Amino acid sequence: MNEIVGTMYYVLANDPNDEWACEAEADTYFLFNTLMIDMKDIFVPDLDDAETGIQGRMTNMIDLLSLHDPEVQRHLDECGIGPAFYSIRWLTTLLSREFTLPDTIRLWDSMFASTYRDNFLRYVCVSMVILIRESLLQGDFGTCLRLLQSYPPTNIDQLLEASRSLWIYESQVTLACHQGGISLHQAMNAIVPPPTLIMAFGLHAGEKLDQLDVIKNRIEDGKVVAKTLATNARTLLGNARDLLGLR
More confident residue, 153 or 1: 153
Residue 241, pLDDT score: 61
Q: Do 106 and 98 form a contact (C-beta atoms < 8 A)?
A: no
In the chain, the percentage of residues whose pLDDT exceeds 90 is 70
Q: Do 55 and 61 form a contact (C-beta atoms < 8 A)?
A: no
Please tell me the distance from the alpha carbon of residue 163 to that of residue 123, in angstroms, as a whole number: 6
Residue 237, pLDDT score: 59
Within 10 angstroms of residue 201's Cβ, the number of other Cβ atoms is 18
**Per-residue three-class SS string for 66-108:** HHHCHHHHHHHHHHCCCHHHCHHHHHHCCCCCCCCHHHHHHHH
Band the pLDDT of 205: cuts 50, 70, 90: confident
Residue 228, pLDDT score: 55
E-assigned strands of the chain? Answer: 199-200, 203-204
Taken as a whole, the chain contains a residue count of 247
Within 10 angstroms of residue 158's Cβ, the number of other Cβ atoms is 13
Q: Strand, coil or helix: what is 152?
A: coil
Q: Burial level of 35, CB count in 10 A (0-12/13-18/19+)?
A: middle
Stretch 39-57: mean pLDDT, rounded? 89
β-strands 199-200, 203-204: how paired? antiparallel
Most confident option among 96-105, 211-220, 234-243: 96-105
Q: pTM for the full model?
A: 0.81
| Among candidate residues 75, 124, 136, the one with its CA nearest the CA of residue 99 | 124
Lowest mean pLDDT among 79-83, 144-148, 232-236: 232-236
Stretch 26-45: mean pLDDT, rounded? 93
Identify the DSSP state of 204. E
Band the pLDDT of 206: cuts 50, 70, 90: confident
| Among candidate residues 18, 64, 50, 56, the one with its CA nearest the CA of residue 163 | 64
Mean pLDDT of the chain: 88
Please tell me the distance from the alpha carbon of residue 100 to that of residue 178, in angstroms, as a whole number: 41
Band the pLDDT of 242: cuts 50, 70, 90: low
The CATH architecture that domain 44-168 belongs to is Orthogonal Bundle (1.10)
pLDDT at 173 over 90: yes
Over the stretch 113-137, which tens digit does the pLDDT of each residue have?
A: 998 888 999 999 999 999 999 999 9
Within 10 angstroms of residue 27's Cβ, the number of other Cβ atoms is 18
Band the pLDDT of 82: cuts 50, 70, 90: very high
In the chain, the percentage of residues whose pLDDT exceeds 70 is 84
pLDDT at 223 over 90: no
Band the pLDDT of 61: cuts 50, 70, 90: very high
Residue 75, pLDDT score: 97
Band the pLDDT of 236: cuts 50, 70, 90: low
Stretch 176-205: mean pLDDT, rounded? 91
Residue 234, pLDDT score: 64
Band the pLDDT of 68: cuts 50, 70, 90: very high
